[in-house]
Each structure stands twice: as structure tokens, then as C-alpha cells.
């Protein structure tokens, strides 16, 4: 343990999660104008009895809702060589207007525009996540090259340059220490909760933070090949692999739209020439068929359910970034957890204390550690504060890198606190009881601090990262919710992982993992797989998993990479979110079955002339209302 004089450093500026891209701003504007036009048109038709207001409103709705959909339809038709629902919806709206049902067409366009806007809202997270990750890199570094010190931009740093890294600075490139000693916060890369002491010959990873000493380190790899750059590459690969998954809508929309568009002229021709109907009568039935067959209820079935479920989840502190995330959560069979900051609080606390005079020994240790900002030291000072113990004044406190801290009491006695090597250097020895306590701490993976007075050991303390409150119950609730395989993935030591897994009831865990290892293991676990994490090192795994879940206390990189965010850092909400997601998925299946059922029953009757247009509209819009209300009932859920 070392004394730390960690300097404050500004957190990297992160992109706002509430910024709207130009594409999304356009989509929101068009949807709002479509709704406005619809409301004005309905008011003019039914309240004001004003044709001018009515047609002005409907014209606005048709232009605002139809132009974006028409543009997409033409792109699909001429560029991708396929028909899709965009074209069908535009033609159905125009068909409704041609037989005097402009309001029905406007409603059709608004609902379709709304669903497209919701999809656009979930896009663009890849660039934001990667941008947030890149912000962990400093702008540059002080470098010694050819015997001269100079400031270099990140892309100017070369292999063989010597980085001069001061306390509080981020390390700009992978390097090896040549001069000096320090402690480094590696949690952004490895997830290790305790700062790592670095001496001559130790390697430093880019993106980590130098805490308490000035060091010089020779660059091993340029910035473009650094640890942080590797994380960015992993993020890009994971996001690209995920985006290739084809959605259910994309699979059925083109065949369905093609079938309906081919059937409309066929219906008209059949009625006109085979059954001898007049042109007006055949056109009326064909347009009624198109309106009834347009998948308005089908299109709104999923958004109505997903929006309601997402709102219910948000009210309980679980934020879904897309409806696809909600659907994926309903099918999850494996949940993989990061340890530090996810299952634990990423806060060191004193877990065990053995001493003949506990208050006196704690006061002695606090007096020493009050001269350090090291997380272990702060844990000891905090324990003394909570116990109401005042630190003993000491003089000449001095850090011994890699060993601990020493000082002198006013009485002239030498006092020290640190590890076994410091104890040996001070000529002290453990009693059998103290040795047993130390062995127990090592078996649990806890960091140990030995407190001594001259050549006598007066106490042994265990310091460890504490578990989140209620985490064991949260794991049990997940199993009850149907998650078959909860597993912990961590960069921490094997002993630490084993102790944490035992305490929270996990039977499966993997320890001492790098980001690449987590990414590989995610691909090997039985799926669908959800990954829960909070750190930069978790970002590739969060993106690679079928579903990424981040706690809000984590880094912006993890939050941007994840599909779901636990806003109150409460993993106990996760089981409730899974139950809600599964209920939502069942409701979507019911809605789609109902919507298609209405089309299959009403469309043939419309062709046969048994369903007049007003009744067809009632059946069509009634189906829409039904699926919307089925979705709204999910608002009652509490996680």
C-alpha cells in the first residue's frame, strides 16, 4: 500500500444522451405535423363543419406523413429492388381519400410515422458509444525524445518515446515504467477495484489513471494500437455483428406489401370484368379492400405494447433504449454480471479487524492513513470515523512504495501499516492467531493491512469492496423469473471472485479476465445472453451480448453501449423487468394474431360486398383501438 497525493482531474466530456440527430429531429417534426394536420382536419370536418379547414388539415397530414414514407418506399423500390410497407401505407392512405375517407388515411399515416420515429430514436448509439470511449484518451502527453521534452499530440507519439506522467494524468499510450514508482487506477480497462502499484519494469495501459507518483515510461505501442484502441475496435465489431440481425418486421413486410398491391388491381379487375360490376362499384370495393388490408393495427401492435411496457419500466427506474431491447430481455436465458461496481459498490470498506485494543489500534491506523488518499487508506479512516475514534497524531509520515506507510509518534515510537514485506522489514512477526486471521483474509481475496508499533504487530485488518445491498436476493429473484444461468465475469483475482460468488449465491464465475476474454465468453454462453456491467472494460461485452444492461452509476461509455440502464443502480429491479418483458412479448403475439385475424376475416368480406366502407373502417380502426388498449394495460406493471 502506498501514500497517494492523487490530483483531481476532469472527467472526459461525454456526448449528451439527449441530443437529437438531424435525422431524428426531422422524423419527430414530420410526426408532429402529421398529428397536427389530422387533428385540424377532424376538427374542420366534425366540429367546425368547414371544408377549407378540413382539407387544409388533411393536406398537411398527408404531406407530412406521406412524403417521408414515400421517399423510403421509392428508395426501397428503385435502389433495393423490393416493395415494402411504406409504399403500401401511402397507397392505402390515398385510396382511402379517393373514396371519401381522408381521416382514415391520415390516421394511417400518423401511426406509421410514429412507429418509424420510434425506430429512429434507437439509432445512432454506436457512434455515441465509440465517441465516449475515445474521450478517455488524453489530447496528448509530455514526451522526452532525443533528450528533449515536448508536448505531443496523441497521433505524434511513437514507439520508444518516453512518457512523463504526473499524478492525476491519464496515460496516453501503452508503456513500460523506466523511472519512478506509483499506483495506477486500472479499473477503466481491467475492472480491478484496487489501484495497482507500479515499479520499474511494470507495464502501463493507455486510458488508465496515474494516482500518486511521477513516473517515466517508454512507449511500447503507438496510440492506434493501444489497449484503449483495441477496446474501440472490439466495440465496433460487436455493434456491427449485432446490427446484422434481421428483424421480424423486415422479414414479413415486403412479401405482405407485394401481395396486397398485387391483389388490389386483381380485385378490381375480377369485380369489373368477371362479375360485371360498374367501374365505381368495383373501385369502391377494391379501395375498401386496400384500406381493410392495410396493416395499421399490425404496425401499431408492437409499438403500443412496447411503449407502455417501456414507460412502466422507466417509472420503476429501468430505462429501455429500444423496443428491441425489451423483446430480447423477454427471451434471455443467461445473465452475465461484471463484479466491480455492478455486484459490488466499488467502495473499499474494513471487513475484519483483529486487535487486542481495537479502538486504540484503529486510531493508530487512522492516524497513519489520514496522510494518504489511497482507497484502502480512506476505508480505514472512514471506519475510524464511523466508530467515533479520533486518529492518533503522527509525525513524518512517509510512503514506502509497494509496502505501506511509516511514521513516528510523539513518544518517539515508530508506527507503521502495510503488507507482509513491510512487517518483515520492520522486524515484526505475527502471532498464531494473527496468522490465522491473515490466512482467512487471503482465502477470501480481501486486501490485508498489518498495523505495527516498533517491532510488534498490534492488529490485522481486512479491506474489501462491499457487495451492493440486497444483491443475493436479486440473484435469487432472477432465477425465479426464469433466468437459467446467472454467471459472474470479472477481471479481479480468483480468490476475490470465489468469495463474492459464494456470498451472493452464484455457482458459476470466471475470474482474471481481460475485455477480450469477456467478449469471447459472451459468445460461448447459452443464449440469448444479457450482460450487466458498469465500466469501460465492459463496453465491448455489453455491445456484443444479445442485450447490454448498465447501472447508471457506471461510466458513460458503458451506459451508451448498453441497451438497458438501471437508473437507480438497483439490480433487484432486473427480475421484475424480465417479467414485464415476457408479458409484453405475449401481448405482442396476441395483438399481431388479432390484427392479422381481422384482416383475414374482413378483407374477403369487403371484396364480396358484405362489408361496406364505414363498417370496414370500424373493423379496421376497432382493431387498432383494441391492440392499443392491450398495450396500455401494461402501464399498471410495477417492477
- For 360-401, give the secondary structure using H, E and C: HHHHHHHHHHCCCCCHHHHHHHHHHHHCCCCCCCCEEEEEEC
Q: Is the pLDDT of residue 188 over 70?
A: no
Question: Of the given ranges (29-33, 130-134, 321-325, 522-526), which has the lowest mean pLDDT?
Answer: 130-134
Contact between 227 and 205 (Cβ < 8 Å): yes
Model confidence band, residue 221 (pLDDT cutoffs 50, 70, 90) = confident
Q: Is the pLDDT of residue 244 over 50?
A: no
pLDDT score, position 455: 92
Q: Which three cell numbers stand for residue 512?
A: 482474471
Q: Is the pLDDT of residue 2 over 50?
A: no
Cα–Cα dist 172/562, whole Å: 26
Percent of the chain's residues with pLDDT above 90: 31
pLDDT score, position 614: 67
Model confidence band, residue 246 (pLDDT cutoffs 50, 70, 90) = very low
Question: Of the given ranges (24-28, 100-104, 292-296, 390-394), which has the lowest mean pLDDT?
Answer: 292-296
Residue with cell 377532424: 42
What integer is the mean pLDDT of 89-106? 82
Long-range Cβ contact pairs of 253-262 (< 8 A, separation 24 or more) = 253/84, 253/85, 254/82, 254/83, 254/84, 256/85, 256/88, 256/295, 257/83, 257/84, 257/85, 257/87, 257/88, 258/83, 260/88, 260/290, 260/293, 260/294, 261/83, 261/87, 261/88, 261/91
pLDDT score, position 426: 92
Q: Is the pLDDT of residue 456 over 50?
A: yes
- Helix, strand or coil, per DSSP, at residue 108: helix
pLDDT score, position 1: 37
Model confidence band, residue 557 (pLDDT cutoffs 50, 70, 90) = low
Of the candidates 86, 197, 327, 338, the residue annotated as catalytic is 338
Question: Of the given ranges (77-86, 249-258, 332-341, 531-540), which has the lowest mean pLDDT?
Answer: 249-258
Model confidence band, residue 6 (pLDDT cutoffs 50, 70, 90) = very low
**Tens of pLDDT along 227-236?**
666 656 655 5
**Tens of pLDDT along 369-403?**
998 878 888 899 999 999 999 999 999 988 887 78
Model confidence band, residue 93 (pLDDT cutoffs 50, 70, 90) = confident
pLDDT score, position 209: 86
Domain range list for the chain:
137-235, 347-467
Percent of the chain's residues with pLDDT above 70: 86
What integer is the mean pLDDT of 464-475? 88
**Tens of pLDDT along 422-453?**
999 999 999 999 999 998 888 777 888 999 99
Q: Is the pLDDT of residue 264 over 50?
A: yes
pLDDT score, position 562: 81
Q: What is the DSSP letter of 538?
A: G
Q: Is the pLDDT of residue 9 over 80?
A: no
pLDDT score, position 580: 94
Cα–Cα dist 575/27, whole Å: 34
Select the highest-mean-pLDDT range: 303-307, 468-472, 493-497. 468-472
* Nearest CA-CA partner of 334 in 439, 484, 559, 458: 484
Contact between 141 and 163 (Cβ < 8 Å): yes
pLDDT score, position 5: 31
Q: Which three cell numbers stand for residue 448?
A: 490485508
| Measured CA distances, 232 to 21, 183, 188, 239, 514 (Å) | 22, 25, 13, 11, 14
Q: Which three cell numbers stand for residue 86?
A: 411504406
347-467 CATH, one of 3.40.50.720, 2.60.40.420, 3.40.1110.10, 1.10.3720.10: 3.40.1110.10
Q: Is the pLDDT of residue 558 over 60?
A: yes
What integer is the mean pLDDT of 92-115? 81
**E strand residue ranges, 468-594:** 485-489, 509-510, 529-533, 547-551, 564-566
Fold of 137-235: 2.70.150
Question: Of the given ranges (119-128, 170-179, 362-371), which has the lowest mean pLDDT?
Answer: 119-128
What integer is the mean pLDDT of 517-522? 88
Q: Which three cell numbers stand for residue 187?
A: 479499473
Q: Is the pLDDT of residue 7 over 50?
A: no
Catalytic residue status for 338 = yes
What integer is the mean pLDDT of 117-123? 59
Contact between 282 and 268 (Cβ < 8 Å): yes
**Tens of pLDDT along 600-638?**
899 999 899 888 776 776 776 677 778 878 887 888 888
Cα–Cα dist 489/334, whole Å: 12
What integer is the mean pLDDT of 162-182? 90
Mean pLDDT of the chain: 82
Amino acid at each position: 500500500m502506498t501514500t497517494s497525493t492523487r490530483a483531481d482531474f476532469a472527467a472526459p466530456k461525454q456526448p449528451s444522451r439527449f441530443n437529437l440527430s438531424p435525422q431524428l429531429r426531422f422524423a419527430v417534426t414530420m410526426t408532429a405535423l402529421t398529428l397536427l394536420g389530422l387533428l385540424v382536419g377532424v376538427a374542420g370536418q366534425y366540429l367546425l363543419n368547414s371544408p377549407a379547414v378540413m382539407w387544409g388539415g388533411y393536406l398537411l397530414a398527408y404531406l407530412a406523413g406521406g412524403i417521408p414514407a414515400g421517399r423510403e418506399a421509392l428508395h426501397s423500390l428503385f435502389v433495393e429492388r423490393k416493395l415494402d410497407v411504406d409504399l403500401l401505407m401511402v397507397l392505402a392512405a390515398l385510396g382511402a381519400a379517393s373514396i371519401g375517407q381522408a381521416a382514415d388515411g391520415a390516421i394511417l399515416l400518423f401511426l406509421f410515422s410514429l412507429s418509424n420515429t420510434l425506430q429512429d430514436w434507437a439509432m445512432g448509439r454506436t457512434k455515441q458509444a465509440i465517441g465516449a470511449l475515445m474521450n478517455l484518451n488524453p489530447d496528448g502527453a509530455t514526451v522526452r525524445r532525443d533528450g528533449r521534452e515536448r508536448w505531443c499530440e496523441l497521433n505524434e507519439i511513437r514507439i520508444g518515446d518516453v512518457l512523463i506522467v504526473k499524478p492525476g494524468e491519464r496515460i496516453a499510450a501503452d508503456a513500460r515504467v523506466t523511472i519512478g514508482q506509483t499506483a495506477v487506477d486500472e479499473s477503466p480497462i481491467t475492472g480491478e477495484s484496487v489501484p495497482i502499484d507500479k515499479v520499474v519494469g511494470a507495464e502501463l495501459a493507455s486510458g488508465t489513471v496515474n494516482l500518486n507518483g511521477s513516473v517515466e515510461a517508454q512507449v511500447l505501442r503507438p496510440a492506434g494500437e493501444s489497449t484503449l484502441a483495441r477496446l474501440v475496435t472490439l466495440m465496433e465489431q460487436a455493434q456491427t455483428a449485432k446490427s446484422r440481425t434481421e428483424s421480424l418486421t423486415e422479414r414479413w413486410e415486403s412479401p405482405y406489401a407485394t401481395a396486397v398491391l398485387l391483389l388490389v388491381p386483381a380485385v378490381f379487375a375480377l369485380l369489373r370484368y368477371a362479375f360485371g360490376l360498374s367501374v365505381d362499384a368495383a373501385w369502391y370495393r377494391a379501395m375498401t379492400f386496400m384500406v381493410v388490408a392495410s396493416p395499421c393495427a399490425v404496425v401499431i401492435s408492437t409499438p403500443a405494447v412496447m411503449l407502455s411496457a417501456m414507460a412502466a419500466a422507466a417509472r420503476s427506474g429501468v430505462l429501455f433504449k429500444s423496443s428491441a431491447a425489451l423483446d430480447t430481455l423477454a427471451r434471455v436465458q443467461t445473465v452475465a454480471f461484471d463484479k466491480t461496481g455492478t455486484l459490488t459498490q466499488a467502495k473499499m470498506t474494513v471487513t475484519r479487524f483483529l486487535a487486542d485494543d481495537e479502538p486504540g489500534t484503529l486510531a493508530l491506523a487512522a492516524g497513519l492513513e489520514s496522510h494518504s488518499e489511497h482507497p484502502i487508506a480512506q476505508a480505514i479512516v472512514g471506519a475510524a470515523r464511523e466508530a467515533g475514534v479520533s486518529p492518533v497524531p503522527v509525525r513524518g509520515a512517509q510512503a514506502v512504495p509497494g509496502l505501506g506507510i511509516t511514521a513516528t509518534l510523539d513518544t518517539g515510537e515508530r508506527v507503521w501499516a502495510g503488507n507482509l514485506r513491510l512487517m518483515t522489514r520492520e522486524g515484526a512477526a505475527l502471532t498464531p492467531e494473527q496468522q490465522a486471521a491473515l490466512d482467512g483474509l487471503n482465502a477470501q481475496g480481501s486486501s490485508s493491512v498489518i498495523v505495527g508499533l516498533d517491532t510488534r504487530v498490534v492488529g490485522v485488518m481486512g479491506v474489501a469492496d462491499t457487495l451492493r445491498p440486497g444483491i443475493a436476493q436479486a440473484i435469487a429473484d432472477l432465477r425465479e423469473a426464469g433466468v437459467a444461468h446467472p454467471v459472474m465475469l470479472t477481471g479481479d483475482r480468483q480468490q476475490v471472485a470465489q468469495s463474492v460468488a459464494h456470498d451472493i449465491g452464484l455457482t458459476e464465475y470466471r475470474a482474471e479476465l481481460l475485455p477480450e476474454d469477456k467478449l469471447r465468453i459472451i459468445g460461448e454462453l447459452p443464449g440469448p445472453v444479457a450482460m450487466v456491467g458498469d465500466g469501460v472494460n465492459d463496453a465491448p461485452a455489453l455491445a456484443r451480448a444479445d442485450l447490454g444492461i448498465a447501472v447508471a452509476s457506471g461510466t458513460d461509455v458503458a451506459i451508451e453501449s448498453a441497451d438497458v440502464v438501471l437508473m437507480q443502480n438497483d439490480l433487484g429491479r432486473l427480475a421484475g423487468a424480465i417479467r414485464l418483458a415476457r408479458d409484453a412479448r405475449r401481448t405482442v403475439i396476441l395483438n399481431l394474431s388479432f390484427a392479422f385475424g381481422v384482416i383475414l376475416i374482413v378483407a374477403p368480406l369487403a371484396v364480396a360486398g358484405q362489408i361496406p366502407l364505414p363498417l370496414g373502417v370500424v373493423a379496421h380502426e376497432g382493431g387498432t383501438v383494441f391492440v392499443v388498449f392491450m398495450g396500455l394495460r401494461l402501464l399498471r406493471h410495477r417492477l
